[in-house]
A and B are shown apart, each in its own frame.
Chain A
Amino acid sequence: MVSEVKTVSGRGIPLVGNDIDTDRIIPARFLRCVTFDGLGEHVFTDDRKALEGKHPFDQSQYQGAKILVVNRNFGCGSSREHAPQAIAKWGIKSLIGESFAEIFFGNCVAIGIPCLIAEPIIVKQLQEIVTTNPQVAMTVNLETMQVTSGDFVAAVSMGEGAKNMFVSGTWDACGQLVSHAEQVKATAAKLPYLSWN
């Protein structure tokens, strides 16, 4: 079930704003569930309601977009995986932003959604490109660490560990972790506190 993520192609969707937290991505009332199914339609629900159809996730030109372009500290706040799940279930396959909150980034890795970092000026340009020409195709290449859109080419980045996981198809770490059960037990045996209770 694990697959390599080397490139993501599709149309872009801009979401301007710093410090967009996970409560805004998916409000807590939608966490009353035992599966992630159906979260896609509720992504950014309160922001969307407040903007009465003018939120990018509601605008017709961005339906079907795959690459979300955000600004600084995106996904801060709660550890809820419901947030990246909701974004992914809406249809997003990759994010580009100035920076991402740590847990959000890790949650995205775990579900195979690469979050790439770009300089603020690049992010601004990308947001302008997809705003003026929503139909333009965009490609994120994780091997060359570049984003291209027509003539526009720019560098993006990602920590080496996460990059390797996507490119080699090992972003779903569960299988590897489970296969080391013997080493896990050996490590545990050296920890004094495990025998105190």
Chain B
Amino acid sequence: MSKGTLFDKVWDLHTVGTLPSGQTQLFIGLHLIHEVTSPQAFAMLRERGLEVLLPERTVATVDHIVPTTNQSRPFADTLAEEMMQALEQSCEENGITFHNIGSGNQGIVHVIAPEQGLTQPGMTIACGDSHTSTHGAFGAIAFGIGTSQVRDVLASQTLALSKLKVRKIEVNGTLQPGVYAKDVVLHIIRTLGVKGGVGYAYEYAGTTFEQMSMEERMTVCNMAIEGGARCGYINPDHITYKYIQGRDFAPKGADWDKAITWWESIRSHADAEYDDVVVFDAAEIPPTVTWGITPGQGMGVDQLVPTPAELHEEDHFIAEEAYGYMDLTPGKPIQGTKVDVCFIGSCTNGRISDLREAAKVAKGHHIAEGVKAFVVPGSERVKQEAEAEGLDKIFAAAGFEWREPGCSMCLAMNPDKLQGRQISASSSNRNFKGRQGSASGRTLLMSPAMVAAAALKGKVFDVRQMLN
């Protein structure tokens, strides 16, 4: 049993009581909702005659279904329009703040909460979306939940949960140039497996994470769930505080000093006990791309697609499925694999620093013929900031389309989709079969800089060779 970790402390502070089942009733400090997983929850509340207990603790936005080109209402997609109206109405009726398109605050839910300063250390956060783990970058305990649980949080501001074990994942040292937070997390998942984290909260520790910006930390925590861990977090430090200070919902005046004292107190103790510890060396992490149909099927960009002999026996079945689906040959390089579509965006890599890194690669070059490349900022604020820096111009000159904020082709619930067997180089987080909108479409996950490199070359390419 873990002891003295941030997870233990935050869990204890938010424990309301123990339920007859033995589970903990846990208070949720911040509840984020969006259009996909909440309409049914509001319907369930209505059916049971329940009210939203603390509407001020829920914040809504719209991200999954929004078109990234023409956003005028009503949406061309009538089902999307219906979902949009359902959310608008639920928020209105229940007194919930809704960051709608054009408000200046809309965007992917996991991008907008941190940028407004809503996400803070020591909080518990829940959202009907598995990538809620993102908010752990601030030292919050953040869970993805299902729709029935969205109902529970709306009605009671609590969840029934069993406590997780805590695994410390330590990465030490400096990353090579051309290696990013995305590569770190893909490398971790590749090593520990997509189910390695089931039953665990991941504490990311060590000098590599300590040196990372908040945006990089968010990329890492975002994908904790892809490694099976329901939440991942990093202890808050001066980088965290600097990021929060001055944002809309940041503590102000005397509260700021109180906040820092409290945030410092919830950090994991130096002598905290963990259920498990795993250590990595940053210098050994290469630019990583996925070759298969789970985020754990990753490889160094300069390596060969693994043969079954190089994989654990229990991974053979899914590997065979992946070779066939992806049409990649074991033992052959992944570099040089032709790509059709290049997508930069998502809650993993749609923040300003991601766009800057991609723009650095794209600047002064042009995308290869036959490639479709597009950049989707994670939020209206990210878009505005990028335009103020002229990133949109750099991308446009390089042949990338510059879009409106949303989830876009991360899961293709909007018009942005792969067609047929197209292969995408994608900065998103899931390469599942059919994930990007075509039942036979293929996805190669990689960092935004690597996606930009792939767009310029028309094929998978080691970005390190372009940065020299």
Contacts and interface: CB of A to CB of B under 8 A. Distances in A.
A64 to B, nearest CB: 26
Contact of A34 (B43, B145, B155): B43
Given A173-B152, A194-B29, A32 B20 contact: no
B456 interface: no
Interface string B52-78: 011000000000110000000000010
Contact of B251 (A47, A161, A184, A197): A197
Interface in B303-349: 314-315, 317-318, 321
Nearest to A171: B21
Contacts of A141: none
Contacts of A184: 16, 25, 27, 53, 156-158
Contact of A160 (B22, B40, B80, B120): B22
Interface stretch (B168-176, B281-289, B356-364, B430-438): B430-438
Interface string A156-193: 00011110110010101110111011011001101111
A194 B56 CA distance: 10
Contacts of B15: 187
Query: Interface range on chain B: under 10, 10 to 19, 20 to 34, or 35 or more?
Result: 35 or more
Contact of A99 (B22, B77, B132, B195): B195
Interface string A70-113: 00110011111110100000000000000101110011001100
Contact of B294 (A19, A102, A106): A19
Interface residues of A, number: 65
Contact of B413 (A17, A29, A193, A195): A29
Contact of A78 (B130, B157, B199, B321): B130
Given A28-B435, A49-B439, A180-B16, A80 B80 contact: no
A81 B146 contact: yes
A164 B410 CA distance: 38
A181 B435 contact: no
A165 to B, nearest CB: 4
B195 A192 contact: no
A134 interface: no
A24 interface: yes
Given A102-B228, A103-B130, A188-B157, A35 B195 contact: no
Contacts of B439: 27, 46, 49-50
A23 interface: yes
A136 interface: no
Nearest to B292: A19
Contact of B79 (A32, A50, A72, A78): A32
A19 B258 CA distance: 45
Contacts of A195: 255
Contact of A193 (B120, B148, B252): B120
B228 A76 contact: yes
Contact of B259 (A103, A180, A192): A192
A21 interface: yes
Interface in B139-178: 144-149, 151-152, 155-162
A31 interface: yes
B267 to A, nearest CB: 15
B86 A173 contact: no
B430 A174 contact: no
Contacts of A110: 146, 148-149, 152
A29 B437 contact: yes
Contact of A36 (B29, B40, B252, B433): B40
B160 A173 contact: yes
A82 B38 CA distance: 11
A11 B244 CA distance: 55
Contacts of B255: 195-196
A75 to B, nearest CB: 11
A122 to B, nearest CB: 16
B270 interface: no
Given A34-B82, A168-B21, A178-B156, A19 B318 contact: yes
Given A177-B158, A191-B13, A17 B321 contact: yes
Given A23-B433, A103-B230, A183-B17, A17 B148 contact: no
Interface string A122-140: 0000000000000000000
B260 to A, nearest CB: 11
B53 A21 contact: no
Given A161-B22, A174-B156, A177-B156, A31 B36 contact: yes
Given A24-B434, A79-B37, A178-B156, 20 more contacts: A31-B36, A34-B82, A35-B40, A73-B194, A76-B194, A78-B411, A79-B129, A80-B37, A81-B146, A99-B198, A106-B145, A107-B147, A165-B23, A183-B16, A184-B27, A191-B13, A192-B259, A193-B123, A196-B249, A196-B259
Interface of B: 13-17, 19-23, 25, 27, 29, 36-37, 39-40, 43, 48, 50, 53-54, 64-65, 77, 79-80, 82-83, 86, 120, 122-123, 128-130, 132, 144-149, 151-152, 155-162, 194-195, 198-199, 225, 228, 230, 249, 251-252, 255, 258-259, 262, 294, 296, 314-315, 317-318, 321, 411-413, 430, 432-435, 437, 439-440
19 contacts: A17-B318, A29-B437, A33-B79, A35-B40, A50-B440, A78-B411, A79-B132, A79-B144, A81-B146, A102-B228, A164-B21, A174-B48, A174-B148, A180-B17, A183-B16, A187-B15, A192-B259, A196-B255, A197-B249
